[in-house]
Amino acid sequence: MNIITLLLPYQPPWDWQQFHSHFALRAIPGLEALSADSYSRGFCIDGAPGWLRVAPLPGQNALELRCRIASPAHLDPLEQRVRRMFDLDSEPETIARHLSADELLAPLLLRNPGLRLPVAFDPFEQAVRAIVGQQVTVKAAVTIVGRLVQRIGTRLQTPAAPGISHLFPTPQALAEADLSGIGMPGKRVQCLQHFATRIADGSLILSIEHGSAALIEQLCALPGIGPWTAHYIALRAFGEADAFPASDLGLLKAPVWGAAGIDARRLTLRAEAWRPWRAYAAAHLWHCYSGG
């Protein structure tokens, strides 16, 4: 195993606190660990386990990535995933210029110029989180996903970063597991295991190679997955800049719309002007909704 340290530069502004807050709310015990100035997790690339630690570098427009990998060949794909995870290749000035044309968004962009799109390390993991998270709180979803990790995730045999003991379950393990007593309604368990089966047998491939619209359409064709879940997967699994879960409560109730909020149909129409950066508009509306 090789321990390697890399610098991952980015174009400012970029806000560590946004990512810290995002992952603090969603971190799965045993799989992920968070300190005030670092994020760590276990991962698997090409069947080989490893761990990583990401930390901001004060005074530098870069993150430090420290990782343990099985092969040097895994370094490039790992670096690409971490760059996507922390949205380090975004063009904040271009996005801000476009979205600031909306008079309600403009003050949000001035207030939080560094907001970006926190993205999951692994698309399958994010899809599972989104399916589990349907119609429950983030905290409840984290609890249930934590049970999945402990029950059917692979335990790391080699020493990992502090607090990291497990890998996320594979699609096949999830498809075949007994999930009785896991804390989800039966229909959602069926939805989750059907999805995992489709990924495991290769009949569904999580990719935006042919565009996010194609993936969203494929996901919506599965039983139990609707537009919110499909758009949220595109946004959080791939950092798709134009994904927009228009029925999301946080978007509909953001304070910019006033006490009455806005309905999904009107929000969808308004968001047409935000293309191709609707996901970044969503990030600002979510931040506004949470009091940021």
In the residue annotation, 37 being an active-site residue is answered as: no
Residue 274 is classified by DSSP as G
CA triple 176-178-184, angle to 5 deg: 115
Which among 87, 122, 242, 248 is annotated as catalytic?
248
In the chain, alpha helices (H): 16-26, 75-85, 92-99, 106-111, 123-132, 138-152, 171-176, 186-200, 212-220, 227-238, 249-252, 264-271, 278-289
Residue 100 is classified by DSSP as T
Q: By the 8 A CB rule, do 127 and 237 touch?
A: yes
Q: Alpha carbon of 23 to those of 18, 36, 237, 285: distances in Å?
A: 9, 11, 14, 18
Q: By the 8 A CB rule, do 265 and 252 touch?
A: no
Q: Is 32 helix (H, G, I), strand (E, B) or coil?
A: strand
Peptide bond into 162 cis (omega under 30): no
> Which residue numbers are catalytic?
248
